[in-house]
């Protein structure tokens, strides 16, 4: 799965926000009352409830080795952007943000030569998030390529889990300071003056990598043992209640020592089914979050290349749930090619509708179990290779673990059908190498091309087939 996480749908929605409604502004101006975390926290964990004290998240974090710092491209400097026009109601929200963060010490007045514009983005609950538009600054920033976890690898760790606790770090990026000497580069301009941030803001291209590095350091002893973290989303998993509570306490203590707090209302405790990164995870397997399915089914027909890219970017995250995904999106992908005139054809509309139906009917994918035999079913068409990885359940019934689908290159489109069918097998073994290499049994390949049964014993092979034979042997 693409590492870009399920937040794409939210980001796409934020990018399409042209303005704030009066209702949004009223929500933004509402005060959020302090809520006692004990009302939701399981009683056995009440003695460590301090992790959920949201008031501590309003305290300025200390400087650490993990402080955020800028690395700009040679000869470049932070640009100065325009002052965006705002309505009177939006200015009220802006004033509230400035007053609140000046009081907390998260921002201060600035005389920086840099100045990024500001805007508002809508949160899922309808409130407004104050944002600084750092697009121009990001263009001159050297990217930090610290990796975000692959969701597929994360799911592989959960096959034997029976209980889950999900945590969400409050204002995670703001829990990391900006390094001294770098704060002036965060400056943003408003009607009420120029300000700079003392804490790492949202919107910087290197902020996710910086926080991922920090949370990995904080939770390192527990990662892939009983815990995983995707930026500010933390999942603790265990196969029994007593052990799970021990694991939860260890993670709680590590987060508290690291100066992080969690949002009690975004957390789930000791559950057998959890919504994590846009997926519903349980002992029976993994399925797409119904809210994401609804997001796809309500998606309006794309009007230009950018809208197609937004849709495909979101849909691609769930490609492992969709049979023949590449075949369904081929006509849409073709519209994103360079020098191709945008023309929404009947074929595009048909495949767009079929993809929506595929999301609605997407199956629950079984957890992969290395102790069970693997079955790989492959198929090839003129333009696409596809496959299904399956395992038998306790009743001997085959259940899909993952789907694979990949478009052929121009050269591969010219292969004879024998080689296309063989290519589909090779691609499945490449896609699922981590799972198949660890299998305790021989792998059964199911194909509708009978001649492939004798491939491994054939004496005369082309150079391409020799390479594939060596790979599969």
CATH number at 46 reads 3.10.10.10
> What is residue 20's predicted lDDT score, i.e. its pLDDT?
47
Looking at the structure of the chain, the number of domains it has is 3
Average pLDDT, the chain: 87
Which one of 282, 304, 322 terminates a domain?
Answer: 282
pLDDT-based confidence at residue 30 (cuts at 50, 70, 90): low
Q: Is residue 40 in some structural domain? A: yes
- Domain co-membership, 264 together with 303: no
- Domain co-membership, 272 together with 388: no
Distance between CA atoms of residues 161 and 154, nearest Å: 12
Alpha helices in 325-416 (DSSP H): 325-334, 346-360
- Domain co-membership, 208 together with 147: yes
Residue of 381, 154, 396 lying closest to 279 (CA atoms): 154
Q: Say what percent of the chain tops pLDDT 90.
A: 66
Mean pLDDT along residues 76-104: 91
pLDDT digit string (tens) for 296-347? 999 999 999 999 999 999 999 999 999 999 999 999 999 998 888 889 999 9
pLDDT digit string (tens) for 152-188? 899 989 989 999 999 999 999 999 999 999 999 999 9
Residue 124 has pLDDT above 70, yes or no: no
> What is residue 441's predicted lDDT score, i.e. its pLDDT?
86
> What is residue 126's predicted lDDT score, i.e. its pLDDT?
65
- Domain co-membership, 295 together with 278: no
> What is residue 89's predicted lDDT score, i.e. its pLDDT?
79
pLDDT-based confidence at residue 455 (cuts at 50, 70, 90): low
Q: Is residue 367 in some structural domain? A: no
- Domain co-membership, 25 together with 122: yes
Q: Is residue 1 in some structural domain? A: no
- Token look-up 């203590």 returns 253
Residue 447 has pLDDT above 90, yes or no: no
pLDDT-based confidence at residue 10 (cuts at 50, 70, 90): very low
Name the residue with higher pLDDT: 407 or 1. 407
> What is residue 416's predicted lDDT score, i.e. its pLDDT?
82
Determine how β-strand 375-380 pairs with β-strand 444-446: parallel
Q: Is residue 365 in some structural domain? A: no
Distance between CA atoms of residues 359 and 430, nearest Å: 25
Q: Is residue 3 in some structural domain? A: no
- Domain co-membership, 345 together with 392: no
Residue 146 has pLDDT above 70, yes or no: yes
* One-character DSSP codes across 413-446: GGS-HHHHHHHHHHHHHHHTHHHHHT-SSPPEEE
CATH of the domain at 451: 3.10.20.370
Which one of 258, 282, 306 terminates a domain?
Answer: 282
pLDDT digit string (tens) for 263-310? 999 999 999 999 999 999 999 999 999 999 999 999 999 999 999 999
- Domain co-membership, 276 together with 293: no
Name the residue with higher pLDDT: 448 or 359. 359
Q: Say what percent of the chain tops pLDDT 70.
A: 88
Name the residue with higher pLDDT: 20 or 371. 371
> What is residue 11's predicted lDDT score, i.e. its pLDDT?
35
Q: Is residue 26 in some structural domain? A: yes
> What is residue 367's predicted lDDT score, i.e. its pLDDT?
93
Mean pLDDT along residues 41-55: 89
> What is residue 18's predicted lDDT score, i.e. its pLDDT?
37
**DSSP state at residue 240:** S
pLDDT-based confidence at residue 95 (cuts at 50, 70, 90): very high
Decide: residue 56, CB within 10 A, 0-12 exposed, 13-18 middle, 19+ buried: middle
Q: Is residue 343 in some structural domain? A: yes
Residue 23 has pLDDT above 60, yes or no: no
Residue 451 has pLDDT above 80, yes or no: no
> What is residue 35's predicted lDDT score, i.e. its pLDDT?
64
pLDDT digit string (tens) for 225-260? 999 999 999 999 999 999 999 999 999 999 999 999
- Domain co-membership, 187 together with 316: no
Name the residue with higher pLDDT: 19 or 69. 69
Mean pLDDT along residues 68-80: 96
> What is residue 340's predicted lDDT score, i.e. its pLDDT?
84
Backbone φ, ψ for residue 171 (5° rounding): 40, 55
- Domain co-membership, 267 together with 405: no
Q: Which two tokens stand for residue 65?
A: 């080795």
Q: How many CB atoms lie within 10 A of CB 124?
A: 9
Residue 41 has pLDDT above 60, yes or no: yes
Q: Is residue 368 in some structural domain? A: no
Residues 6+ apart with CB under 8 A from 322: 315, 328, 355, 358, 359, 362, 403, 405
> What is residue 6's predicted lDDT score, i.e. its pLDDT?
38
- Domain co-membership, 195 together with 295: no
> What is residue 473's predicted lDDT score, i.e. its pLDDT?
66
Domain coverage including residue 119 = 8-282
Q: What does pTM read for this prediction? A: 0.85
- Domain co-membership, 39 together with 133: yes
Q: Identify which of 40-44, 204-208, 430-434 has the greatest average pLDDT.
A: 204-208
> What is residue 15's predicted lDDT score, i.e. its pLDDT?
34
pLDDT-based confidence at residue 9 (cuts at 50, 70, 90): very low
> What is residue 3's predicted lDDT score, i.e. its pLDDT?
37
> What is residue 249's predicted lDDT score, i.e. its pLDDT?
96
Question: Do 199 and 207 touch, CB atoms closer than 8 A?
Answer: no
Q: How many CB atoms lie within 10 A of CB 265?
A: 12
- Domain co-membership, 163 together with 309: no
Which one of 249, 282, 315 terminates a domain?
Answer: 282
């Amino acid at each position: 799965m693409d590492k870009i996480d399920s937040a794409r749908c939210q980001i796409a929605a934020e990018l399409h926000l042209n303005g704030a409604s009066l209702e949004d502004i009223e929500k933004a101006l509402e005060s959020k009352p302090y809520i006692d975390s004990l009302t939701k926290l399981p009683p056995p964990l009440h003695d460590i409830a301090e992790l959920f004290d949201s008031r501590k998240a309003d305290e300025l974090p200390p400087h650490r080795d993990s402080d955020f710092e800028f690395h700009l491209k040679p000869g470049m400097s932070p640009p100065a952007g325009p002052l965006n026009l705002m309505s009177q109601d939006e200015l009220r929200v802006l004033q509230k943000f400035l007053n609140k963060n000046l009081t907390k010490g998260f921002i201060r007045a600035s005389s920086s030569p840099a100045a990024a514009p500001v805007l508002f983005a809508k949160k899922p609950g309808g409130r407004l998030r104050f944002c600084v538009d750092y697009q121009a600054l990001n263009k001159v920033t050297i990217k930090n390529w610290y990796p975000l976890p692959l969701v597929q690898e994360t799911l592989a760790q959960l096959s034997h889990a029976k209980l889950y606790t999900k945590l969400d770090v409050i204002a995670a990026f703001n829990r990391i300071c900006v390094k001294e000497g770098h704060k002036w580069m965060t400056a943003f301009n408003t009607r009420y003056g120029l300000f700079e941030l003392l804490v790492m803001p949202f919107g910087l291209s290197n902020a996710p990598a910086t926080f991922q590095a920090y949370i990995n350091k904080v939770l390192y002893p527990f990662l892939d043992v009983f815990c995983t973290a995707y930026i500010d989303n933390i999942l603790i998993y265990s196969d029994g209640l007593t052990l799970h509570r021990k694991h939860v306490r260890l993670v709680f203590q590590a987060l508290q020592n690291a100066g992080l707090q969690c949002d009690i209302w975004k957390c789930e405790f000791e559950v057998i089914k959890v919504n994590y990164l846009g997926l519903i995870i349980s002992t029976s397997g993994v399925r797409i979050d119904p809210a994401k399915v609804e997001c796809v089914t309500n998606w309006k027909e794309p009007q230009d290349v950018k809208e197609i890219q937004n849709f495909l970017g979101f849909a691609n995250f769930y490609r492992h749930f969709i049979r023949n995904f590449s075949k369904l999106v081929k006509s849409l992908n073709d519209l994103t090619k360079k020098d191709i005139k945008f023309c929404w054809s009947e074929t595009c509309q048909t495949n767009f509708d079929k993809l929506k139906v595929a999301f609605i009917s997407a199956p629950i994918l079984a957890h992969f179990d290395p102790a069970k035999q693997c079955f790989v079913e492959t198929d090839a068409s003129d333009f696409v290779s596809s496959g299904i990885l399956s395992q038998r359940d306790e009743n001997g019934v085959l259940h899909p673990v993952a789907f694979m689908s990949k478009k052929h290159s121009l050269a591969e489109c010219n292969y004879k059908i024998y080689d296309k069918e063989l290519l589909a097998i090779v691609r499945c073994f490449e896609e699922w190498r981590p799972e198949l290499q660890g299998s305790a049994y021989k792998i059964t390949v199911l194909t509708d091309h009978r001649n492939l049964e004798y491939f491994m014993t054939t004496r005369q092979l082309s150079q391409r087939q020799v390479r594939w034979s060596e790979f599969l042997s």
